[in-house]
């Protein structure tokens, strides 16, 4: 190689090194950080995002603004961030549906694994299987017996086709050997309203929305869908401990960013987010909302997402689930 080529190679290498160093040092971003949430304000995901964003802003000395972009089960927000500026100023509070379920149900304008970059897990929470008080069952065994003895008479609500609550019900159908009828709603509020009115038999509900009605006796809790009982529902057994080992259907959220965001910025965001999720006061506040912090490394989040994607793909195929 002649001297000119050697010099050119050295200059290119130096330029790349300086670019990487600049990316690593350009933190926090000079403009306010936007944390995009794919659901309307007021829900569990919004509450969690705002708690975490507030502490993040305090720690990095820069505003972290939560922006709600609801619609299409969260897919609108995910597409928005996939196409956003990759300078570390736009983050997404990504969710299980758009990241690992929706890609197996429909053609999306983005690829979760190619167009979004993993940063860290955020929070998770199980569903709780509840029935209205007039259903005539008091535990999971009685509910399964009712489903088998009267085929077609038992239905379950969800927050929409392909949602986490829908897939939890389909997983239960598979494992319990029952065939509950799925009834999709446009959100948790109308599903809960029909359940309380006795117009639907059951619902794999988010604990924060169901707890008040459980406490008043209007809803009967049968089981939760995590591997262990959540601390705020210690007296409700899990599906797993009720005869279905390994049964798990979690709602979860994770921090991701546009895929072209420089790795040094992604690593720095991971460090800051994990620190916040491990903060005792943040953990306590999240627990009060029924949410369990789930900090991870970037590699751990990618592995978790791939596992979830493969698991739900198998259920979708076996149960012949569609997005309609």
Q: Where residue 42 sits, what CATH number does that domain have?
A: 3.40.190.150
Q: Is residue 221 part of a domain?
A: yes
Q: Is residue 222 part of a domain?
A: yes
Q: Is residue 119 part of a domain?
A: yes
How many CB atoms within 10 Å of residue 73? Answer: 24
Q: Using DSSP, how many helices (H) and how many strands (E) does the chain show?
A: 11, 11
Would strands 33-37 and 90-95 be described as parallel, antiparallel, or unpaired?
A: parallel
Q: How confident is the model at residue 25 (pLDDT cuts 50, 70, 90)?
A: low
Residues 99 and 155 in one domain: no
Alpha-carbon gap, residue 14 to 250, rounded angstroms: 46
What distances in angstroms separate CA 87 from CA 91, 93, 301, one per listed residue? 10, 17, 21
Residues 77 and 121 in one domain: yes
Task: Quick: pLDDT tens for 153-202.
Answer: 999 999 888 889 999 999 999 999 999 999 999 888 899 999 999 999 99
Task: Quick: pLDDT tens for 115-155.
Answer: 999 999 999 999 999 999 999 999 999 999 999 998 889 99
Mean pLDDT of all residues in 263-280: 98
Alpha-carbon gap, residue 201 to 6, rounded angstroms: 74
Q: Residues with Cβ < 8 Å from 307, sequence gap 6 or more?
A: none
How many domains, in total, are found in the chain?
A: 2
DSSP three-state, residue 253: strand
Residues 262 and 232 in one domain: no
Q: What residue numbers bound the domain in which 71 lies?
A: 32-125+251-319
Q: Is residue 11 part of a domain?
A: no
Residues 76 and 121 in one domain: yes
Q: Is residue 15 part of a domain?
A: no
CATH number at residue 176: 3.40.190.10
Considering 242, 263, 289, which residue would you say is the last residue of a domain? 242
């Amino acid at each position: 190689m002649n001297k000119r080529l050697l010099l050119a190679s050295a200059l290119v290498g130096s330029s790349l090194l300086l670019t990487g160093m600049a990316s690593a040092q350009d933190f926090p971003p000079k403009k306010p950080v936007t944390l995009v949430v794919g659901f309307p304000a007021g829900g569990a995901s919004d509450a969690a995002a705002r708690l975490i964003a507030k502490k993040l802003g305090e720690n990095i000395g820069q505003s972290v603004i939560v922006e709600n972009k609801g619609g299409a089960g969260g897919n609108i927000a995910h597409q928005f961030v996939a196409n956003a500026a990759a300078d570390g100023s736009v983050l997404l509070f990504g969710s299980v549906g758009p990241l690992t379920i929706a890609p197996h149900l429909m053609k999306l304008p983005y690829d979760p694994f190619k167009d979004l970059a993993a940063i860290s897990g955020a929070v998770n929470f199980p569903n709780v299987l509840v029935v209205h008080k007039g259903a005539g069952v008091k535990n999971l065994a009685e509910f399964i017996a009712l489903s088998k003895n009267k085929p077609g008479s038992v239905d379950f609500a969800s927050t929409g086709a392909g949602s986490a609550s829908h897939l939890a019900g389909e997983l239960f159908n598979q494992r319990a050997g029952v065939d509950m009828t799925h009834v999709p709603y446009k959100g948790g509020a109308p599903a809960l309203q029909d359940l309380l009115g006795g117009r639907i038999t059951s619902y794999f509900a988010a604990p924060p929305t169901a707890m008040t009605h459980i406490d008043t006796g209007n809803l009967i809790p049968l089981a939760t869908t995590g591997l262990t009982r959540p601390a705020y529902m210690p007296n409700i057994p899990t599906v797993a401990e009720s005869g279905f080992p390994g049964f798990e259907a979690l709602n979860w959220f994770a921090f991701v960013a546009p895929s072209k965001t420089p790795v040094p910025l992604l690593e720095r965001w991971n460090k800051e987010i994990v620190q916040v999720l491990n903060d005792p006061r943040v953990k306590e506040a999240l627990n009060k909302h029924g949410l369990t912090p789930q900090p991870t490394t970037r590699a751990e989040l990618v592995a978790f997402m791939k596992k979830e994607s493969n698991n739900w793909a198998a259920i979708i195929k076996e149960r012949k689930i569609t997005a309609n």
